[in-house]
Amino acid sequence: MPVLGIITEPQNKWDPRKPYSWPCYVANIRHRIKCPIALLVLTPTTALARRYSAPIDLGCGEIRPLVLALDTLEPVTDQSVAAAHPVLTVLALASNPTDDKAALEALFVALKSLDTSASSLYSDYVLAALSATALSSLEEIMTLSDYEFRTELIGRPFREGEAKGRAEAILGVLDSRGIAVSDRTRDRITGSTDLDELDLWVRRAVRVDRAEDLFG
The pLDDT, as a whole number, for residue 37 is 95
What φ, ψ does residue 184 adopt, rounded to 5°? -65, -45
Model confidence at 156, pLDDT cuts 50, 70, 90, reads: low
- Mean pLDDT over 141-150 rounds to 64
Model confidence at 162, pLDDT cuts 50, 70, 90, reads: low
The pLDDT, as a whole number, for residue 144 is 66
The pLDDT, as a whole number, for residue 159 is 47
- Mean pLDDT over 123-137 rounds to 82
User: Is 120 a residue whose pLDDT tops 90?
Assistant: no
- Mean pLDDT over 20-29 rounds to 94
- Which of helix, strand or coil describes residue 167? helix
Q: Give the rounded distance of the alpha carbon of 130 from its chain centre.
A: 12
Alpha-carbon distance of 109 to 83, in angstroms, equals 6
Could you tell me the pTM of the whole model?
0.61
Alpha-carbon distance of 67 to 54, in angstroms, equals 10
- Mean pLDDT over 1-21 rounds to 90
Nearest Cα to Cα of residue 35 among 2, 60, 81, 61? 2
